[in-house]
Chains A and B, each alone.
Chain A
């Protein structure tokens, strides 16, 4: 038993569902109560149309009846025609010992979709475990897919979607710069979603999600698709990403890049000059691990600011997840990732990654420093 005064960790189940939500040819159905699915859907923020629950009532509890789940699987297969149906247990179905694998054995010949069961999910887990699990399932499925001809050079972006804070805005920004500087299209749709079936058509993968690293490595081994792993905060990361694209895809970045890069460098210098007059600038930086390295480099190496991730002082500017930001209203805060408590407005339209993201970060950090100064904090 663990007691939390703040928020507990998000579970592996939620990590799994948030990842599956991005797959347009997969659906998941949970054999459990309706309430948690309702919450998960609201956390994802967009109506994904591929995450389902059965709801569970007293008869199922008393008699261990799985007819409702059976009907749900048959309906989903018939109506949505997905490539894969993931069937998940819930804490409730685990307690009553519902036999999901037995059910799948019984009905698998009646359905077109591949049925994959995830049961006995750990009662205590972390979100990343679920994302790793989802990508592992994806890796096992990819081998069944015919290696399609790569008609055009297209990029797949993993780990940025509506289910993450700023995820959609960051995704759209990366998509924009790929088009602008390399004339490259993405496999993902406008919301970051994609068909598993099309993954092997990718010429290059940008993975922002650390949980997908084994998946992209397997794709690289299996199909030779090159990849870049990491978040894209700041000018250096953009340049490194662009180098990787040039090297692997044998394409040259467009000429506007040199001009834009010069402008961005000027902005960074301008920022440094303006904040120089403050004798001390401390930032508390604590974000998801797959964002951390990139942000650390940006804050310290590009902006020349000090940061800590030990303890939060009243004068610190906090760059962190939404929970930490919300719980320190006395500080200047910049939320860059989930989990969040409040529903943040505009998070889907203000990127922090890429070219526009760099400008936004400079502006928002500068604004926080000024506000802090005005509140009397001693920089």
Chain B
């Protein structure tokens, strides 16, 4: 399939029908978020393998952070054959009641795996009933595995779901929150540093560093910064619910979007960011020119996992490169305009689930100049240069854009091995 035939992720053909290892599922995404929410109980309800691996994630965090009293409590609830045949409503209700009685939690999250969702047990009915009987927050998070593209949607869904827990508080002047950051470093990102310099106070990083109390008070923030795509739905929900404006810094390799983000942040803080934008843009233009001299006319395969694929390919195309094949990872662009723009440069083939051996076969046949993204292939055998854009919690904005250009500039200075 070519890029011009793309209508959505569901119609991207699998390169291989047999997949290995496969992508993480949304249950992984949901679990990777909820385990950070201290003071809550998470109940993973599902078949043996699913609850084993979800629980493992929670225990991993518990080990890293030690056995503090605020740690997230998690239960792996492994269903039996008879539960799947005859239903499990009464047992789930009993379990939830027991958890409600416990003093060390303020919220209970019930997360179901795909097998449970297939048998259509009315768990929402049980949750609704119990919500009338308790002050505690109880939430059901179905993962909808078969409808979603990747685990990143599970992450986004979990973050958005958590917004239901927030309460309405008076907005506090000069405060901000960071949404979507899952690792340490977000507080030192370019826009966060800027806000701190203006005297703004960071009130929470969802989900990396937040407890239930801080989550509840998230509506106090005057501005929200979205640093990864998975924070976008939560930001939109907070905007709709409390009118909190948000600024997107998740468009890592779109200069126009980064400029717009900085303009918006300037407006929200009543500061003129024009000079900063002009200076940074000038540096980027100079750097881009250098990169262009090196990369003009070079072909590439694209295989990054978490960047927006069309946006990244457009970034490289604007530097004079030509995309010949896109292996989509776990993330997809959210609007079609970037794809349309990319089509002005090239019409690459697009695949999902291409195995390493298949990618190697294609590399051997086509020998692209660059392979962009996660790879374990022996690229040097094909005279192909590997470049992987790192994703770090604190790297966004102009900083990320410049670092990416430098990465391209420095990638294998002795371009193409001779004799291959």
B118 CB–A CB distance under 8 Å: yes
**Chain A residues with Cβ under 8 A from B151's Cβ?**
35
* Residues of B13-43 whose CB lies within 8 A of A: 14, 16-28
Q: Scan A1-34; emit 1 where CB is below 8 A from any B CB, else 0.
A: 1111111111101100000000000000100011
Shortest CB distance B124–A (Å): 19
Asked whether A4 and B18 contact (CB < 8 A) given A123-B84, A341-B56, the answer is no
> Given A8-B52, A49-B357, A92-B118, are A124 and B23 neighbors across the interface (CB < 8 Å)?
no
> With the chains together, A168 CA to B256 CA distance in Å?
51
Q: Mark B72-96, 1 if CB is under 8 A from A, else 0.
A: 0111111111011000100100010
Name the contact of A35 in the complex, choosing from B25, B55, B63 (C-beta under 8 A).
B25
| Number of A-B residue pairs having CB atoms within 8 Å of each other in the complex | 174
**Proximity string of chain A (42-83) to chain B, C-beta cutoff 8 Å, 1 when within and 0 when not:** 100001010111111110010000001101111110010000
Q: Is the CB of A11 within 8 A of B48?
A: yes
Query: Using Cβ atoms and an 8 Å threshold, which residues of chain B touch A5?
Result: 73-75
Known A1-B80, A58-B146; judge A342-B22 contact (CB<8 A): no
B128 at the interface (CB under 8 A from A): no
Which residues A183-219 have CB closer than 8 A to chain B? none
Chain B residues lying within 8 Å of A125, measured Cβ to Cβ, are 48
* Residues of A close to B75: CB separation below 8 A: 3-5
Q: Is A41 on the interface with B (CB-CB < 8 A)?
A: yes
Closest residue of chain B to A124 (Cβ to Cβ) is B80
Q: How far apart sit A49 and B376, CA to CA, in the bound complex (Å)?
A: 13
| Contact status B23-A38, CB under 8 Å | yes
Contacts A11-B48, A123-B84 given; does A51 touch B20 at CB 8 Å? yes
CB of A39 within 8 Å of the partner chain: yes
Closest residue to B75 on the A side, CB-wise? A3
Contact B23 A34, beta carbon cutoff 8 Å: yes
The number of residues on chain B lying at the interface, defined by a beta carbon within 8 Å of a beta carbon of chain A, is: 55
Least Cβ distance of B108 to chain A in Å?
A: 14
Interface residue? A329 (CB, 8 A)? yes
| Contact digits for B134-178, partner A, Cβ 8 Å, 1 yes 0 no | 000000000001110001000000000000000000000000000
Q: Are B48 and A1 interface neighbours, CB within 8 A?
A: no
When chains A and B are docked, how far (Å) is the Cα of A53 from the Cα of B91? 32
Contact A35 B23, CB 8 Å, known A1-B80, A2-B80 = yes
Tell whether B3 is near chain A: CB-to-CB under 8 Å.
no
C-alpha gap A73/B22 in the complex (Å): 16
Q: Most A CB atoms within 10 A — which of B48, B55, B63, B81? A: B48
Question: In whole angstroms, how far apart are the Cα atoms of A342 and B63 in the complex?
Answer: 8
B67 contacts A2, CB within 8 Å? Answer: no
B365 on the interface (CB 8 Å rule)?
no
Min Cβ gap A362→B in Å is 27
- Residues of A with C-beta under 8 A to B84: 91, 95, 123
Contact A7 B357 (CB under 8 A): no
The CA-CA distance from A95 to B55 in the complex, in Å, is 23
B95 nearest in chain A by CB position:
A3
Q: In the complex, are the beta carbons of B22 and A4 less than 8 A apart?
A: no
Give bound CA distance, A327 to B60, whole Å: 10
B147 surroundings in chain A (CB, below 8 A): 58
Cβ of B62 to closest chain A Cβ, rounded Å: 8
- Report yes or no: A35 in contact with B22, Cβ–Cβ below 8 A: yes
Candidates B74, B83, B146, B353; contact of A1 at CB < 8 Å: B83
A36 to B50, CA, bound (A): 7
In the assembled complex, the Cα of A336 lies from the Cα of B28 at a distance in Å of 27
**Complex partner residue of B118 from A2, A95, A124, CB under 8 angstroms:** A95
| Binary B-proximity of A288-312 (CB < 8 A = 1, otherwise 0) | 0000000000000000000000000
Contact A341 B59 (CB under 8 A): yes
Task: Assess the B357–A33 pair: CB atoms within 8 A.
Answer: no
- Asked whether A75 and B24 contact (CB < 8 A) given A33-B145, A36-B49, A124-B81, the answer is no
A80-95 CB contacts (< 8 Å) to partner B: 91-92, 95
Asked if A54 and B49 sit within 8 Å, CB to CB, the answer is: no
Q: Are B56 and A1 in contact (CB under 8 A)?
A: no
CB distance from A303 to the nearest CB of B (A): 29
Residues of B within 8 A of A96 (CB): 118
Given known pairs A10-B52, A51-B20, A72-B18, the reply for A342 and B80 (CB within 8 Å) is no
Chain A residue numbers with a CB within 8 Å of B79 are: 1, 123
Residues of A within 8 A of B67 (CB): 329
Decide if A123 touches B59 in the complex (CB within 8 Å): no
Q: How far is the CB of B384 from chain A (nearest CB, A)?
A: 20
A272 proximity list for chain B (CB < 8 A): none
Q: At the interface, yes or no: A37 with Cβ under 8 Å from chain B?
A: yes
Tell me the bound Cα distance from A13 to B79 in angstroms. 16
The verdict on A141 contacting chain B, using a C-beta distance below 8 Å, is no
Closest beta carbon of chain B to A264's beta carbon, Å:
35
Chain B residues contacting A79 (CB-CB under 8 Å) are 357
Q: Which residues of B contact A72 (CB under 8 A)?
A: 16-19
A8 to B50: give the CA distance in the assembly, Å.
10
Contact (Cβ within 8 A) A11 B118: no
In the complex, A72 Cα to B15 Cα: how many Å?
11
A123 to B24, CA, bound (A): 21
Instruction: Please report the C-alpha to C-alpha distance between residue A342 and residue B59 in the assembled complex, in whole angstroms.
Output: 9
Determine how close the nearest CB of chain A comes to the CB of B40; give it in whole angstroms: 15
Q: Does A326 contact B (CB under 8 A)?
A: yes
A341 touches B60 (CB 8 A): yes
Report how far A61 CA is from B91 CA in the complex, Å: 26
Known: A5-B75, A33-B25, A123-B81. A53 touches B19 (CB 8 A): yes
Q: Of A53, A91, A342, which contacts B20 at CB under 8 A? A: A53
Chain A residue nearest to B144 in the complex (CB): A58
Residues of chain B having any CB pair with chain A under 8 Å: 10, 14, 16-28, 47-53, 55-56, 59-60, 63, 66-67, 73-81, 83-84, 88, 91, 95, 114-115, 118-119, 145-147, 151, 353, 356-357, 376
Known interface pairs A1-B78, A56-B146, A57-B146; 12 further A-B residue pairs with C-beta atoms within 8 A, sorted by A's residue number: A1-B88, A2-B78, A3-B75, A7-B56, A10-B52, A11-B49, A35-B25, A35-B145, A55-B353, A341-B56, A341-B59, A341-B63
15 contacts between A and B (CB under 8 A): A1-B77, A1-B78, A3-B76, A7-B55, A8-B55, A11-B48, A33-B146, A34-B22, A35-B50, A37-B19, A39-B24, A40-B21, A54-B18, A92-B118, A326-B59
